[in-house]
Amino acid sequence: MTHGETATATHGTAAPPLLTARGLAKAHGRTEALRGASLELRAGEILAVTGASGSGKSTLLHCLAGIVRPDAGSVTYAGLRLEELPEKRLSELRRTDFGVVFQFGQLIPELTAVDNVALPLLLAGTARTEARARAGEWLERFGVRGQEELRPGEMSGGQAQRAALARALVTGPKAVFADEPTGALDSLATEEVMTALAHTARESGTAVLLVTHDAQVAAYADREVRLRDGAVSPLEVTA
Amino acid sequence: MSTRHILLGLLASGPSHGYDLKRRHDERFPQARPLAYGQVYTTLQRLVRDGLAEVDGTASDGGPERTAYRATDEGARELERWAVEVAPPAPFVTNEIFAKVVVSILTGGDAGAYLLAQRAAHMGRMRELTALKTAPGADLTTVLSADYALNHLDADLRWMTTTAARLTTLTTEVRTA
Amino acid sequence: MSTLTSDLRLARQLVHGSDRKEWWRIALTAAGAAAATGFALAAVTLASVPAGYSVSHFHGLLTGSGTRGGVISGLLLLLVPVLAFLGQCARIGAVHRDRRLAGLRLAGAAPGQVRRIAALETGLACLLGSAVATVFSVLFVLRLWSGPTAVTWLGFVLVAVGVPALGAVAGAVALRRVVASPLGRVRRVAQRTGRGPGLLFLSGLAVLVAVAPLALNERHVAGNRLDWSTPLTVFSLVIALGAGVVWLAGATARFTGGLLAVRARTAAPLLAAERLRDDPWAPARTHAAVLLVTVAGTAFLCVRHAMLTDLRATDPEYRAADLAYYTTGLDLTGAAVLVALAIALSGLAVGTAESLTTRRRTLAAQVAAGVPRTVLNRALLLETALPLAPALLLAGAGGLAIGIWYSSLTGDGSLPWTALLVAPAVYASCLLAAATALPLLGRSVRPGELRYV
């Protein structure tokens, strides 16, 4: 087996772009986190964004997911310019079309695992019983079994992150934005969480933007984009 | 890596002939370099010469004639000794990547560009191995051997990242030495 | 002494290097201490007025030793909401402060040293407040009263020193868990149980049951024997009532939380109910102060109505004093109740703001995930609204019961309709107080909060 073969085999044919960012710039006070970053997230692909700490990875994710507005540049999703949408519409978009996973903190500590996963469905107007039933199915799909009624603090880190993935995917989003989703986990839990994410995303055709500093996590992606000093190094986009 | 001992180990479960040993080796160590049949044959002959294995018999089963081998008592003892012996931790640092970087600096080439290309190749191989181990139905042997390689590639990558960040200092050092 | 100076320097450095929240805690603690000192000093001044001395202010209300005693008790009772407010202030940034002090402990500081630093932090803030209040009180007393006695000044010194000292002790006691096990405290915030206030309630009630018959009897016994049972009755009544409302607030929070967590159909009530179920005792202290004020306010309106009806019915010839004497007293009491309400509501606002800042990372993640801010706002208001509704209903009923009892003793048994409005009015003002924290929610949920642990 030669090295070039399977790297292109998984996602050789380029799918149409789902999300396009052009010339993003964003400063936090005096530090410029992004200076003209451009990239494409294709439908159904897993794209890793790597780079040293402070290279602007998280800020890029926040801009792409419509969590913050860039100072300059554009983010286009389904013909919409995200930086021009009002906050209410952005919030709705994040709820329905996107899912987010952070290192931790996205699960509400007072809610049980199943209620946490059911929350996006409740917000979309699904009845509580049905929302809980569907949330239960998603938890099972992520291998969180028999822990539905536990609160995040009572679960192991890996289990909690899998519940967080279930919450991000339960509405059937087009894209999931994951910011160091395994940052607080050991290698075995990392493997479990990443396998679950990769499998489910491929099964459901969900695109994943995966921000990580860990090469072994980035290896779950189909493609990698490296950030340096707030921009994508042109040499370092690998497919 | 001692092919002798691995073949002795495979013989421990019972007499076996050369082709069978090769097949079982490639199955058990899926990501290793596949054994050449010739290598199996010469190694078996050396084992017999050293008294660690002996010929068990010859059978044809209607096909070509095959010689079956089995481990001797001495072979079993040698295997036992080897299995518990600590492998020497990196006795010689043979680092092809580092050698290329130094040569590239000496000849005035672009070491940074080389490291980037090497990094991309490493990442490609890591994606390949990850796909292999996460494929549905992958057995634990595959997962563990892929993990072993992934961890080593990851270590290489980290080393390359720090080296790339310190290329200027390295260039000065190599050129003045 | 050198250890004290080094501790002082360390405490100053820690406060100096900390964020704005720390300054909020210090400022609010100082304000609470100032209020406590002010009320206590007023009580001390009145108590030190020699018998028979005539006070011209407030229609001669303060001349009689009986009414003066009443005013003094009123001032001392005002300390209850002030203490609840101070308790709430101590919680501002509590998680961060606990981590910081636990860090000190892990870095090798002795338990005593950490305790001293914590005591200094709180004690100095209280000293600031008490000093300001004392200075103004002294000026005020010198202007109004030509002959303060030695007892007055002694009392002043005791209060001015006592308030910061008590603050320091409270600061040290609050940290006993951190000092005992720094690691455990770094990792999680301990859960509270309702056992403390429950026990206090029961023991206060027991004392009350034992002493009240004696106190009622004593009234008929003439003579100059020291009357010890009346103060004890009042004291145990306050303890029982105070602990009772804390317990009531916690219990209703847990009850409504448990009831609604299962039945909630939309996100906001679910979030609010689960938070209440998870830690029903967190808001209990501030809610308790609000409930006490409701009981007092409702009862006060009934008593006032009964007294005035009674007085108007009496022939002016037979009245002990003119009507203004009585109305002034009643108005003063009403003002005291309003002041208590204001303090309790400040505590509530501070508590809501604190709960928001503690959770800002989770809240920022919710907004990032597309949970609408209106849902989070609603959940925050429901957290106050849900447990207070039944609790205020009970508190209003309790106040009304006291009022009915009083008016059956003295008046014609009629009740003012305004008494019924106290509970709803308090409810509305509580929601407004909680709503003052909503702008803070908008500011807390910046994506910047997602970046750091």
Q: Does C310 touch chain A (CB under 8 A)?
A: no
What is the domain partition of chain A in residue ranges? 15-108+173-234
ipTM of the complex as predicted:
0.86
Between chains, do C278 and A151 touch, taking CB under 8 Å as contact?
yes
By CB atoms closer than 10 A (0-12, 13-18, 19+), residue A229 is middle
Instruction: Say yes or no: C305 contacts chain A, CB-CB below 8 A.
Output: no
Residue numbers in A near B150 (CB within 8 A): 216, 219
B66: β partners: B59
Indicate the average pLDDT of chain C. 78
The CATH architecture annotation of domain A15-108+173-234 reads: 3-Layer(aba) Sandwich (3.40)
pLDDT computed for residue C405 by the predictor? 83
* H-run or E-run covering A48: strand A46-50
Which residues between 114 and 143 in chain B have a beta carbon less than 8 angstroms from any beta carbon of chain A?
A: 116, 119-132, 134
> How close are the terminal C-alpha atoms of chain B, in Å?
36
Q: Is the pLDDT assigned to residue A145 strictly greater than 70?
A: yes
Give per-residue burial for A174-213: e unless 16+ CB within 10 Å, then b: bbbbbbbbbbebeeebbbbbbbbbbebbbeeebbbbbbbe
Rg for chain B (alpha carbons), in Å? 22
Output the CA–CA distances (angstroms, integers) from residue C27 to C21, C35, C92, in the order listed: 10, 12, 11
Which chain A residue's Cα is nearest to B121? A3
User: Is residue C334 within 8 Å of residue C300, measured between CB atoms?
Assistant: yes
pLDDT score of C177:
63
Query: Is residue C194 helix, strand or coil?
Result: coil
Q: Does residue C1 carry a pLDDT above 60?
A: no
Q: If 0-12 CB within 10 Å is exposed, 13-18 middle and 19+ buried, where does residue A22 land?
A: middle
Q: What angle do CA C97, C99, C101 make, to 5 degrees?
A: 70
Query: Are the Cβ atoms of C369 and A120 closer than 8 angstroms?
Result: yes
Position A29 scores a pLDDT of 81
What is the model's pLDDT at position A3? Answer: 40
- For residue range A40-95, what is the model confidence (pLDDT) as tens digits? 999 999 999 998 888 889 999 999 999 889 999 999 998 899 989 998 899 899 99
Residue A7 has pLDDT above 70, yes or no: no
pLDDT, tens only, C368-378: 888 998 999 99
Instruction: Please report residues of B whose CB lies closer than 8 A to that of A52.
Output: 161
What is the number of CB-based contacts under 8 A between chain A and chain C?
Answer: 89
Give residue for tokens 């000065």: B172
How confident is the model at residue C325, as a pLDDT? 74
Q: How many angstroms separate the CA atoms of C90 and C167, rounded?
A: 10
Cα angle B114, B119, B125 (rounded to 5 degrees) comes to 130
Question: Mean of the pLDDT values across residues A231-237?
Answer: 67
- CA-to-CA separations, C294 to B42, C79, C308, C344, C388, in angstroms, rounded: 97, 16, 21, 11, 11
- Mean pLDDT lowest for which of A195-199, C43-47, C217-221? C217-221
Please name the residue that has the structure tokens 């009392």: C155
| A216·B123 Cβ contact <8 A | no
Closest chain C residue to the Cα of A184, Cα to Cα? C453
Q: Any idea of the CA torsion for B30, B34, B40, B42, to the nearest 10 degrees?
A: -150
pLDDT at residue A210, as a whole number: 96
pLDDT digits (tens, 9 = 90+) for C143-183: 777 677 777 888 888 888 888 888 888 777 766 666 666 55
To 10 degrees, the CA torsion angle through A33, A36, A40, A45?
A: -20
**Residue C63: pLDDT band by 50, 70, 90 thresholds?**
low
The CA distance from C393 to C415, in Å, is 17
Going by pLDDT thresholds of 50, 70 and 90, the confidence category of residue A11 is very low
Exposure b/e, C391-430, CB count within 10 A at least 16 = b: bbebbbebbbebbbebbeeebeeebbeebeebbeebbebb
Tell me, yes or no, if the pTM score tops 0.80. Answer: no
Confidence of residue A215 (pLDDT cuts 50, 70, 90): very high
